[in-house]
Structure 1
């Protein structure tokens, strides 16, 4: 029997930021001598997409075109026993420990898991056995893109708003407009932060608004290869709140507080086949057979929050660089004679004491039901622990962890408003001129 455990030094939960150094150890335990051709340690990082345009023939058999994409970000290899030659070696019974270190490229995108695609990082130990199938042990880990909102566009600090109008036809006349305005105090947020969303509704029409719904949605676009051959899209509602309606000939302003859950940062430039964006959406549902009115504003979700003071020279975790080439030598084995453990990896907030480290929480959008995955990605899945035996890469079920901040003190300064009366899902702003309420 062979037992293989994979651990990370000073990082038991396996959470790293792009550009950091990964260090850990592989512990192999055998009860008797084991012949192998090689024991290979690999650290991998890749993005992949897959979906099908399924059609059914008259016999109810699926028949359609499949679309796939794959990009590697990390592909390293080192031999713990043996080599690339076919000569057999013998692993002696007992316990052996192999320490390793690997540099993550600064351009690694954040870990991401969904039904149509994923960005995944893992440590793999493969026993190449003579006259038998290879034996694999894997442990996935989370990699997070460092997206410091202070280093992004200054427009993230600026309030934004969008307006729309709609009229309703009742032959032979046209009604007065139903006007909506959606406003945000800034354009950048981090998980754990509250987004105060203001919705102003002026209903001069003769159709009553039954309710106002506000959502924070994540929109993911998947690409197949060759690039632009085809695309697919997912939309995840991260948080939603519903407020009261607006009667005819009435004017109301509602404020909804949406708390950003655990979710990956916005990403458009690091992964060529998976792009992640966010938007705040507002919808007014009206009575009768009329369609509702909706509008949205894009927002940026980062991994380092905005500070109160504008920085003259924004901090950067790494310089903007072109995508790095795969470096097979980025993984090195550490001699056991070397004393002491490698220090814990630094964090993006170590240089700024005003930013408290976040808590790490499992992603909200992860689908816990394997039946909801496409047939191509639906395998016998099980949770990865300290290193477990797997036959295939696709047999691994993994949920990344994302940093969630406690910014209650900063949030209160932004969203506390005097003379507000709370309603279900929102606030009615008492500062609106009373003469507009009919």
Structure 2
């Protein structure tokens, strides 16, 4: 089958949920060959996969897979019993409808959400010929349609400051209480998110540094239902899932201060949302969340947890008056490409991919 030159082309590079993915597949051969059939398959799926225990340190194992759409069309069959595929040029147009609520394309270190078209040529008594190309699906997260997206958010977090991080057996030295608020829950890339509030220093040491971070948390999940070896659940998988967390710091800001013991002080930080993928909450095994964390440093060997305020990142701003998407930024191009192998020892980003 070395004379085959198959290709796949989409009518455009980016599609939205509910749209039809259209394009064409074609191939050329300069002599008669053998083939039992030619099929075109459109698939949308998420896969989570990460390394196992120490017994298999370098090879990832697929943990979970969710299929959003899968459609197959047989576009060619032979006219004779010899399975003759005559020489010439062939073209097949295709059209596949995306589900209205499907999650967007996403590439992570321990999984992906991917939509692709596969051209499969079934070769009798030989290795099948396949070519696959992925298409980028952009989300439609209209903040105007999400309850509470435009409402102010506020929370109080009480954290314990331990005397020494390296010696947790020592007694705690007080509490740090945070009050965090933001004018609204929902933002879009390019908008500034402001988080303000107050720190109440209930420890015996002064707070001299306040650190604020804009974070992204990607959660990859493995479903444990039906796996006998996981019948004994712990706190991590009490809900029937086992998770792997990937935390990414998008921006960090530091403010020097002096908050004596048993006093409080106000703070305010602002971050501009970079061109990232919107929050993903409609995938069973991969979720993407954003939050701003605030942390007061109470000194050497400090051991306290930061206080976090979740925000929602969409791509249609509040009170925009239109459902059209703002300009999107894609890294190194504007159309995703499939990997040659289904799983590799290390997940690497497709170029381009949606996000940063």
Normalising by the smaller structure, the TM-score range is 0.7 to 0.9
What do residues 36-69 of structure 1 show as CA deviations (whole Å, max 9, x unaligned)?
222211111112223354134xxxx769996622
Instruction: Note closer, same or farther for the CA distance 1:301–1:109 as it changes in structure 2 (3 Å cut).
Output: same
Query: Could you tell me whether the CA contact under 8 Å between 1:204 and 1:248 is conserved in 2?
Result: no
Q: Is the 8 A contact 1:42 1:76 kept in 2?
A: yes
- When residues 205 and 361 of structure 1 are mapped into structure 2, their CA distance, relative to the original with a 3 A threshold, is same
Q: Distance in 2 between matches of 1:271 and 1:124?
A: 23
Cα separation, 1, equivalents of 2:327 and 2:115? 21
Q: How many equivalent residue pairs?
A: 327
CA positional deviation for 1:260 = 2.1
Q: Secondary structure at the match of 2:149?
A: helix
Relative to structure 1, is the Cα distance of residues 97 and 138 closer, same or farther in structure 2, using a 3 angstrom cutoff? Answer: same
Contact in 2 for aligned 1:54/1:65 (Cα 8 Å): no
Matched, 1:119 2:113: yes
Residues 288 and 357 (structure 1), Cα distance of their counterparts in 2 relative to 1, 3 Å cut: closer
Gaps of 5+ in 2: 164-170, 226-238
Q: TM-score, normalised by structure 2?
A: 0.78
Match of residue 350 from structure 2: 398
d(CA) in 2 for partners of 1:42, 1:84: 22
Superposed, 1:41-52 pairs within 5 Å as: 41-52=40-51
Give the secondary structure class of the aligned counterpart of 2:271.
strand
Q: 1:8 aligns with which of 6, 10, 20?
A: 10
1:237 to 245, 248, 266: 248
Q: Paired residue for 1:133?
A: 127
Secondary structure, counterpart of 2:205 in structure 1: coil
Whole-angstrom CA distance in 2 between matches of 1:97 and 1:74: 24
1:266 is paired with a residue of what secondary structure?
coil
2:71 is matched with 76
Residues 88-167 of structure 1 mapped to structure 2, 5 A cutoff = 88-93=83-88, 95-153=89-147, 155-165=148-158
Contact 1:36 1:130 in 2 (8 A): yes
Structure 1 residues not aligned, in runs of 5+: 310-314, 316-347, 350-355, 364-382, 405-438
2:336/2:353 contact within 8 Å kept: no
Contact 1:112-1:400 within 8 A present in 2 as well: no
Q: Could you say what secondary structure the match of 1:156 adopts? A: coil
What is the CA deviation profile of residues 376-408 of structure 1, one whole-angstrom value per residue up to 9, with x for unaligned ones?
Answer: xxxxxxx975x89x4x4346962564489xxxx
Give the alignment partner of residue 326 of structure 2, picking from 330, 333, 357.
357
CA contact (8 A) 2:48 2:64 kept: yes
